[in-house]
Amino acid sequence: MPDVHNRPLADRLEVGAPWLAALGARAVGAAPEPVRRRILQSAFDRARDAFNRGDLDVVFALFDGDVEYAPPPPLADGPPLRGRAAVFEFWRDVFAHWDDNTIENLSLEETSRGRFVRRARLKHRRRDSGATLDYVIVQTTDVRSGRVVRQVNVLDAAGP
């Protein structure tokens, strides 16, 4: 369980006042490209850090209530999930099954306004059995009005 009292200020803001964080994200969308790039990289780094400490509230704070979400294929197959609650429950189950879960950002680009493509390496490990799952995804994220409205994860053919 993450220590919510020691969250960075930006993370506390996203969880405590997501409407305000979404407003800030919308404002960033109008910023010049170099500024957007720095802020975007910082946001994805903060999401990485939150994921790695198991703080799912922060990771999904700006997901729209009706988000469409396709989980990483090694963890699920089937139709995309619908809604922030379903996404949160999915990852809570993953964290319950795997003891150690980490993500590493490999690359990030803004392919168009409001669309971001990230390559990331995920690792999951069970301490009791030593079982591991290690894979690279290409994640496409669509943002509207400062909220994630769609996120699709596919396996990267290049692998780890």
In sequence order, what DSSP letters do the residues of 27-90 get, joined into one string? HHHTS-HHHHHHHHHHHHHHHHHHHHTT-HHHHTTTEEEEEEEE--TTT--SSPEESHHHHHHH
> Residue 116: pLDDT above 70?
yes
**Is the Cβ–Cβ distance between 126 and 98 less than 8 Å?**
yes
pLDDT tens digits for range 126-148: 989 999 999 999 999 999 888 99
Q: Helix (H, G, I), strand (E, B), or coil: what is residue 113? A: coil
Read off the pLDDT band of 107 (50, 70, 90): very high
Q: Reduced to 3 DSSP states, what percent helix, strand and coil does the chain have, rounded to the nearest 5?
A: 40, 35, 25
- Look up residue 44 and give its two tokens: 């994805």
Residue range 60-72: average pLDDT? 96
The interaxial angle of helices 33-52 and 18-29, nearest 10 deg, is 150
Residue labelled with tokens 């800030």? 24
> What pLDDT is stored for residue 159 in this prediction?
63
Read off the pLDDT band of 4 (50, 70, 90): low
pLDDT tens digits for range 6-17: 888 778 878 887
> What pLDDT is stored for residue 1 in this prediction?
59
Q: Give the integer Cα–Cα distance in Å for 55 and 69.
A: 19
The interaxial angle of helices 33-52 and 9-16, nearest 10 deg, is 90
- Look up residue 150 and give its two tokens: 């769609």
pLDDT mean across residues, the chain: 89
Read off the pLDDT band of 98 (50, 70, 90): very high
> What pLDDT is stored for residue 5 in this prediction?
67
CATH topology of domain 4-155: Nuclear Transport Factor 2; Chain: A, (3.10.450)
